[in-house]
Chains A and B, each alone.
Chain A
């Protein structure tokens, strides 16, 4: 028997029957009859009344019908801009930069409005990949809460300054009069030209300095490498070991890391091999969920684990005392490292320079330096320096700072000791904030001089040394804003604005205006593609001049800590060994893939994006282990816990601060660890509609006075039992159910797959034989329709999703939001299972049947309309609003739909979404009343319907009105446009020419889309080359989907028995929740 079990929630794991019973009710919701008064239900409606109503409604309809159609005006351009054709989108290369996060992008501009972000495929490290934050950033441009003009604070609050010049005069004189140093406080600056401007500005004010501060800092890593972070090349690593680094989701450069990591996770069935990924962590992170094997420990033990690994590799340290299982695991990992010398990479999420120094030594012993870790290339994503920040706050408190200019940083919200910062800020004579929005810090400054959004700006970024990615404006600034660089230039006596400075700077560096134009068109300067290598060499490392080169390959580590005290490995080891053992609970602060540190926390798309692990939206919460849940007396295995959104609330106390948070019980957590996401709990001034979502837990971080770095874990005390209240957390995982049907996900181990590469295929062949016993071809044998093979050269759209490289980040979900005008419904509606995502990512835990807390794997399965060729939804629509087309797409005609929801009930994949409310204002002519929808809609829905926000809508896709069903269309607007383009150019359509929004956004190319009838297309090749892993979800119900999946393979040596021949059970559709692997082994005993 297999000891494996797939499940989505504890309730499903333990109460299968009841879960199945509940899932019969598609929408899981009582009809609102209790709202109706008894008297209404029992009232007799006299015949006359009936006739009156009838007459009235007829008359009303007649009057409505005789209404004039509104007069629509059309105003042409006065002088049409060059190259602009109304209705034809233009694409401009640019760069998404948020703090240090850099993703080269291509912006789709339609009639002067940026409406979609794609990755720039010319950049060799992302190859067109994006993150959910990148995708959603276009909505920040149209954020109605942006600061619309420069402001100055007076006694009564902020007053508008009529011009920037007025601010310039006031601030310049204040700066000139400053007696103490001027400090420029920014988040990480990756722009070479900005760095030059800053240098010029600092030169003008003697004693002034520039402090870079990141909300979640990488100081430890930077210091361990002597001031710069070397490039981590996961694509060269056959062995990946992560000590608490969530590098696929949030750590350092997640989009680049996800791309390079995934290259070693794609399986070639002719030579089956993949990288091995171990994860040591204290809670279940997204990267941990994608690991082959993971082990948990306390947050304070990260150093000990690193040390133990160093000891096991013979690195001159004694292994600290750790849990026996953990020690055994570390021994095994160390043995693996030894066999993978030069092909391993070890990364660590700790911000302790001592731990990072040890990890650096481990990497050196593993032969990574020079191979997987490229010390010749610097990563500039994070440059924040905790020590410098701490010094600054001390200086501010002591009154030693004359003026503080803040750009991109928000310490009042995200500094661990925000109170001290606030007190210090009050003592600074001149405080200026350049932030785009009235965030917590800006609200406390004297001047708010808003800067452009990146889509309105010129700019540049050097994420890696030698790779420049440019920013160019895609829209005229919406508000009276000015680049902060222009302000600095003005205040340093240079009267050029940043636009001019930028062009002169780069035209000079690249040699000519033409070279700059070419570079801007490509967006990136990459080796040999856009510019000559000589020029490229000249621009290397312009963003970063500090820091000595990283030591060569084979010398032992000697780390210089920037505070002056020099540390070698021995003292680092000693410092780690001296970390006291914690016995109580510990809290670990983590970043969520959608929000990171919360800079985009006003973005409704990101807030409604479910967390990959918990599938919760709109809030943060305390993730606790099952052990802790039992200790708190939380009945997490019952139906009540999963099916009611009310979650118990506990009190957490750390740093003397008390925060109450709802609790989510998650498997795979360290027993004593409580994990809470940062980035939530923003102020109402920052984003009114999203204020009050979650709590700010940055105050739980602590400062390590010895290393002068911030630690994102802390000792915590919790209330002994849940406090006497509950809190509703809007989770989506239990909203859709397969009613216990098996074979939804397929997953196996590498060893099993190698032993029986055809197990999945044989299973499929059996099914085929069942449905078409003579030929095995259902379409030819068992339907009345003409044989589709006759039309095999025409277009048929298909999609393939590789579960092995899907990391669950959600970039596709947000991309789908943008592309298809999918509405945001707000927390209240998500609580009622009314979320509208056309594409969701289902998360399945794979655990030991005996020990559900032992998470063996987590499978992420993007689930969207499968476009079944034998679609159950099509047969049951009474008005034929959904039907098939000749390209294999299941179509949905919204305006024909009358809202019976039969189709959704009959859909085995639960991918159809019903508009319960008027989320887009389509039913009310764009005017959303306060009580629109069923019940009251959240403020955020009104924000999404603001005139400014609506500029983000894709004009090629209609917004749907209340009462209609909607679902994935395979991006029909793109396929149609692709065909039109081909026709206009008088040629056949290429098989890969059209990409669905989700496929294009995917950072790991897990989703492949294209014409399956085109023999040269990637989709055709993917299907042909991965026959062994290919499966269709619940193929046994015979819907003939056009979306196929490739089974997930875990790289472990475990042999799962009974992997094949599970057909009999599948057909019976009973037994275990979701598992094809429970047949007694047959081959094993032979």
Chain B
């Protein structure tokens, strides 16, 4: 290999490393793709909207992976070709799986690799179930209280001591027959009044200004929703991809609230809340998960039971309370931030997968937006296709990076602080 120039060696090495990482990415992807694309209708061990998938490759035509790929790409077309699938279609009342032409063969293979290797139910290993440090906040609250009480007690003692001191002084003066003018009570003492007024104005002014700036801001806003929907259970424990329910966040300005048919995709078969941890509301009251699912059924006009069919015409839409509100004069587009910017949902919405009851984690103030635009880096490397080709127009910045004048581009550099990026 010595005859190869070093650059080639380096390239080969880099290529090998890249290949390895690529393979591992595929293996991991199987689970992710399964969760995002299949899980809404398929479980591993239970027949839900579609059949259970464990051991699928031992059944019917599925012993051949090629058939599986064909099936996923076009189930409707595959059904008439084998008696097994015809019978399957009949079994599910003619309901045919939607086609997934967007999945590549490699991706489909990774799904079935995952299904083959997925651990059996009950053996654990899926989903983070670590407890949340709920007590921490409580403790710090207690600490403040203790310090507060101690401060007040000390202040009272100081005041008493001062009074005692002045009384003693008066007594001693009386004793020594020194005549002094009657002491002015502290509430008429001009120094005290001036001091108090000053403190009042400073503190009052601070709070007035602060609340005026915060007018209309709702950080921490945590309204009660018509259904106690726990993001922790869905996005955290069950690891449902955010986009499964809020799909339009990928393509529209609105993230969108999932329509009832999306809820019913899973909840047609998931009728009870059994396996997850006990849910509590913010006052510590217990929440019955199954009852909340039943609330969904009331909205959806659905009676669960074997073979129950959901009729959307009977449903009515729940009135969710909107938590994240922007003023009318702000234009915000989710797609720009998710699909283009690659910003994770949690960056703005907080650790949503750990929230039972969602609250507004960020202030959503202009300063907060601007700060992020100042700091967020834009991926300019369109040459290695990791960056967006749109940015190829910024020739000057590319030159500056090449010559080392700049080491990175932030949103600010490409106009992210201009008024009419958000206000029009």
Contacts and interface: CB of A to CB of B under 8 A. Distances in A.
Interface of A: 61-62, 65-66, 69, 71-80, 85-88, 790-795, 883, 885-887, 889, 891-896, 922, 956-959, 969, 972-973, 976, 979-980, 982-984, 986-989, 1013
Which 10 pairs show the lowest CB-CB distances between chains A and B?
A: A87-B252, A79-B312, A87-B254, A891-B420, A893-B419, A76-B257, A885-B418, A72-B322, A80-B259, A78-B315
A984 B396 contact: no
A517 to B, nearest CB: 20
Contacts of A959: 328
Interface string B278-308: 0000000000000000000000100000000
B321 A982 contact: no
A360 to B, nearest CB: 54
B415 A887 contact: yes
B340 A983 contact: yes
B390 A987 contact: yes
A646 B424 CA distance: 38
B212 A984 contact: no
Contacts of A65: 208, 211-212, 215
Given A69-B216, A72-B325, A88 B251 contact: yes
Contact of B321 (A72, A792, A987): A72
Interface string B382-424: 0000001110111110000000000000000011001111011
Max chain A Cβ within 10 angstroms of own Cβ: one of B251, B318, B339, B393: B393
A86 B252 contact: yes
B46 interface: no
A75 B320 contact: yes
Contacts of A795: 393
Given A76-B257, A885-B420, A980 B333 contact: yes
A76 B390 contact: no
A978 B388 CA distance: 15
B212 A79 contact: no
Interface in B246-264: 247-248, 251-254, 256-262
B325 A73 contact: no
A90 to B, nearest CB: 12
Contact of A958 (B215, B262, B424): B424
Nearest to B331: A956
A72 B257 CA distance: 13
**Interface size range on B against A:** 35 or more
A987 B388 CA distance: 7
A959 B321 CA distance: 24
B390 A891 contact: no
B320 A73 contact: yes
Contact of A78 (B260, B389, B419): B260
B83 interface: no
B211 A66 contact: yes
Contact of B256 (A66, A76, A972, A973): A76
B349 to A, nearest CB: 15
Nearest to A68: B218
Given A76-B259, A85-B248, A956-B331, A889 B420 contact: yes
B256 A895 contact: no
A1006 B318 CA distance: 50
A138 to B, nearest CB: 21
A68 to B, nearest CB: 10
Given A78-B312, A86-B248, A894-B329, A982 B419 contact: no
Nearest to A75: B317
A73 B322 CA distance: 5
B256 A86 contact: yes
A79 B314 CA distance: 11
A73 B321 contact: yes
Contacts of B319: 73-75
23 contacts: A69-B216, A71-B223, A72-B321, A75-B320, A76-B256, A79-B259, A79-B261, A80-B259, A85-B252, A87-B253, A791-B394, A793-B393, A794-B396, A886-B415, A892-B419, A893-B419, A893-B423, A895-B423, A969-B420, A976-B421, A979-B390, A984-B251, A988-B393
Nearest to B414: A886
B394 A794 contact: yes
A958 B320 contact: no
A983 B390 contact: yes
B336 interface: yes
A91 to B, nearest CB: 15
A43 B135 CA distance: 64
Contacts of A891: 418-420
A78 B316 contact: yes
B390 A988 contact: yes
Nearest to B366: A895
A615 to B, nearest CB: 29
Nearest to B399: A790
Contacts of B254: 86-87
A62 B211 CA distance: 9
Interface string B339-363: 1100000000000000000000000
A878 to B, nearest CB: 16
A62 B390 CA distance: 48
Contact of B261 (A80, A88, A958, A969): A80
Contact of A980 (B322, B329, B340, B420): B340
Given A74-B319, A958-B329, 15 more contacts: A66-B211, A73-B322, A76-B259, A78-B261, A85-B247, A87-B252, A87-B253, A794-B396, A896-B419, A958-B423, A969-B420, A969-B424, A983-B340, A986-B390, A987-B389
Contacts of B415: 885-887
Contacts of A74: 257, 319-322
B312 to A, nearest CB: 4
Contact of A791 (B218, B336, B396, B419): B396
B354 to A, nearest CB: 23
A986 B391 CA distance: 9
Contacts of B424: 956-958, 969, 972-973, 976
Contacts of A957: 424
Nearest to B319: A73
Contacts of A983: 336, 340, 388, 390
Contact of B251 (A85, A972, A986): A85
A69 B389 CA distance: 42
Max chain B Cβ within 10 angstroms of own Cβ: one of A66, A72, A894: A72
A972 B318 CA distance: 35
A715 B297 CA distance: 76
Contacts of A790: 396
Contacts of B388: 983, 986
A80 B265 CA distance: 13
A1 B388 CA distance: 60
A77 B299 CA distance: 12
B335 interface: yes
A894 B335 CA distance: 25
A87 B418 CA distance: 23
A69 B325 contact: yes
A795 B392 CA distance: 11
A71 B336 CA distance: 27
A793 B394 contact: yes
A985 B140 CA distance: 49
A144 to B, nearest CB: 23
B208 A71 contact: no
A795 B415 CA distance: 11
B256 A885 contact: no
A885 B260 contact: no
Nearest to A58: B208
B291 to A, nearest CB: 21
A886 B339 CA distance: 23
Given A79-B315, A885-B415, A895 B259 contact: no
Contacts of A980: 333, 335-336, 340
Contacts of A69: 216, 218, 325
Nearest to B413: A886
B200 to A, nearest CB: 14
Max chain A Cβ within 10 angstroms of own Cβ: one of B254, B315, B327: B254
Nearest to A78: B315
B208 A62 contact: yes
